[in-house]
Amino acid sequence: METLEQIQNFKGKYPKQLWYLFFSEMWERFSFYGMRGMLVIFMVNQLGLNKVEANLQYGATQAFVYAFTFVGGLFADKILGYRKSLFWGGLLMIVGSIILAIDPKQFFFLGIGFNIIGTGFFKPNISTIVGSLYKEGDPRTDAGFSFFYMGVNLGALIGGYICIAVANGSMLSSLVPENLRWNVAFGFASVVMIISLLTFIRTQKSLGPIGLSPLLNLKDTKKRVFEYATYIASIAVIPLIILLVSNPKYTDRFMFIIGPCALAYFLFEMRNFSLQENKKIIAALIFIFFSIFFWAFFEQSGGSLSLFAEHNLETKLLGVTVDPNGINNSANSAFVILFAALVGLVWLWMNKKKIEPNTTVKFGIGFLFLAVGFYIFYYCKFFANANGVTSLNLFTFAWFIITFGELCLSPIGMSVMTKLSPQKLQAGIMGMWFLASAYGQYFAGLLGADIAKIAENKTGIEALAIYCDSYKQLALYALIAGVILIAASPFIKKLMGGVK
């Protein structure tokens, strides 16, 4: 077995284990985004929900999925270790998607419940393992996370496309009987999740001591009691999750409670750490706080921007006829795949030249890109025809710019979480990072609903003006956030100790 020292002293740009994690995460995201892409359509077409209910339900699912990463991270730190957590999470996701494949109509919320808990155990921990491949201060860490993020989006793009295409019959329709399309589509999600887990199982030996149980000092029998209790509790809680998710009105209350509880938990944990370590935790919490705003704007993609795409965009991209909503859904992932590794290499190059910005400045730049992107959404207003239909080219260009913002914030954020958290809190902090995404999704829904409400029953040109002017507002807020971060970077740098 390789020692931690040997793993972290790898030669070249990326450790070999990153490839294995890349593929596990790629398949997991295929499954996750594959299912996510089917949810709203399934609820409307198959479960007979109206669009508003389906959207609320969708928002609730997203919020819960990311909120449980915090719980999954917590149990990984305290009991299971990252590896067993990841394994357990993967297993639950497989069970959830098989349940959906068998009878999505009857067992819809049961399947979703398993997937929520499963993702909670899987998602934060695989990201934490990536961070553990690097020694403290290794300048290659951010590039590693950028590369890993490419896997995330590769899976998201392919899964997001294939599952819904099979479900609505635009793919494999000659092979799959019409009444089984949804079953097969959910079945795809389970098959790729099995591939994800097998990839992890086959390659986990290469992780040496990374991610083993934190309870190594306990006797085996006692350790097992804790582990099995975790497994049983995580299944026992599923009926509660089903209750909460199937009543979107509970989402508000849940979101109202989980964030403050998570924060209180960290404040409580801080008593165990030195001042130096606590300063780093505070820095991590500042990044987490800002990321909520980033995701709230960014996730307009699934809400108000998709409505904007449906009604106010041309169907031609660079002269080729396309579905504007397809572009809204996939352009960002495609740009991440094309540019993530490149951005990672730029950080490495800047590091060599000693001009690499620190994390706070990268975050600030991320917000500036976001601001420019939203300003371009606003600017679409000036390219519209009399019916309020505007340029898809310009709209896509905005996503191109926003993608660079995401690459300055999302992989860098995961990376810095692993650098700032004490060993014993690694997965919990990573879970908290994703909990911010839960809030981002949640606020995105509220924000999007507000915009959509004002634009309701308006003519095309009036709706265009309402959407675009709202995006101008968001651009301004993103700009302010970016400026605050860059101005505060000397202060945050002090909190971060030696961490760049």
Binding pattern for the stretch 302-341 against ligand GLN, x by CB under 6 A and - elsewhere:
----------------------------------------
Q: Which is nearer to ligand GLN, 327 or 380 (CB)?
A: 327
Say how far apart CA 109 and CA 186 lie, in whole Å: 14
CB of 235 to ligand GLN, least distance (A): 25
CB of 437 to ligand GLN, least distance (A): 3
- Which 8-state DSSP code applies to residue 237? T
Site for ligand GLN in 16-35 (CB under 6 A): 29
CB of 156 to ligand GLN, least distance (A): 6
CB of 416 to ligand GLN, least distance (A): 14
313 forms beta bridges with: 390
What Å distances lie between residue 478 and 77, 290, 400, CA to CA?
34, 10, 16
Does the protein bind ligand GLN through residue 119 (CB under 6 A)?
no
Does the protein bind ligand GLN through residue 432 (CB under 6 A)?
no
Tell me the residue nearest to ligand GLN as measured from the CB. 437
Does the protein bind ligand GLN through residue 152 (CB under 6 A)?
yes
Q: Which is nearer to ligand GLN, 117 or 430 (CB)?
A: 430
Please give the torsion angle defined by the CA atoms of residues 121, 112, 91 and 19, in that order, rounded to the nearest 10 degrees.
-60
Does the protein bind ligand GLN through residue 188 (CB under 6 A)?
no
CB of 36 to ligand GLN, least distance (A): 9
Q: Quick one: tokens of 100?
A: 């959906």
Nearest Cα neighbor of 70 from 266, 298, 356, 296 is 266
Q: How far separated are the first and last CA of the chain, in Å rounded?
A: 31
> Hey, is 177 helix, strand or coil?
coil
Question: Given the DSSP bridges, would you call strands 320-321 and 316-317 parallel, antiparallel or unpaired?
Answer: antiparallel
The site for ligand GLN, by CB under 6 A, has a size of 6
Q: Which is nearer to ligand GLN, 63 or 451 (CB)?
A: 63
Does the protein bind ligand GLN through residue 410 (CB under 6 A)?
yes
> Hey, is 354 helix, strand or coil?
coil
Q: Quick one: tokens of 147?
A: 């590369």
Does the protein bind ligand GLN through residue 121 (CB under 6 A)?
no
Q: Which is nearer to ligand GLN, 57 or 410 (CB)?
A: 410
Does the protein bind ligand GLN through residue 126 (CB under 6 A)?
no
Which one of residues 128, 146, 437, 489 is an interface residue with ligand GLN (CB under 6 A)?
A: 437
Place of tokens 């709202």: 470
Q: Which is nearer to ligand GLN, 182 or 295 (CB)?
A: 295
Structural contact between residues 34 and 160, judged by C-beta atoms closer than 8 angstroms: yes
Backbone angles phi, psi at 317, to 5 degrees: -115, 120
Say how far apart CA 64 and CA 207 lie, in whole Å: 30
Q: Which is nearer to ligand GLN, 10 or 82 (CB)?
A: 82
Structural contact between residues 89 and 437, judged by C-beta atoms closer than 8 angstroms: no
Sign of CA dihedral 28, 33, 36, 38: negative
CB of 296 to ligand GLN, least distance (A): 11
Nearest Cα neighbor of 452 from 439, 462, 441, 467 is 467
Helix residue ranges, H only, 209-323: 220-236, 238-246, 248-269, 275-298, 304-312
Which one of residues 434, 439, 443, 471 is an interface residue with ligand GLN (CB under 6 A)?
A: 434
Does the protein bind ligand GLN through residue 129 (CB under 6 A)?
no
Tell me, what amino acid is at 240? Answer: L
CB of 123 to ligand GLN, least distance (A): 7
CB of 159 to ligand GLN, least distance (A): 11
Query: DSSP readout, 357-390?
Result: PPHHHHHHHHHHHHHHHHHHHHHGGGG--TTS-B
Does the protein bind ligand GLN through residue 146 (CB under 6 A)?
no
Backbone angles phi, psi at 385, to 5 degrees: -85, -175
Q: Which is nearer to ligand GLN, 151 or 208 (CB)?
A: 151
Q: Which is nearer to ligand GLN, 379 or 433 (CB)?
A: 433
Structural contact between residues 42 and 182, judged by C-beta atoms closer than 8 angstroms: yes
Structural contact between residues 89 and 118, judged by C-beta atoms closer than 8 angstroms: yes
CB of 48 to ligand GLN, least distance (A): 29
Does the protein bind ligand GLN through residue 109 (CB under 6 A)?
no
Q: Which is nearer to ligand GLN, 366 or 388 (CB)?
A: 366
CB of 62 to ligand GLN, least distance (A): 9
Which one of residues 295, 363, 367, 379 is an interface residue with ligand GLN (CB under 6 A)?
A: 295
CB of 315 to ligand GLN, least distance (A): 26
List of residues contacting ligand GLN (CB under 6 A)? 29, 152, 295, 410, 434, 437
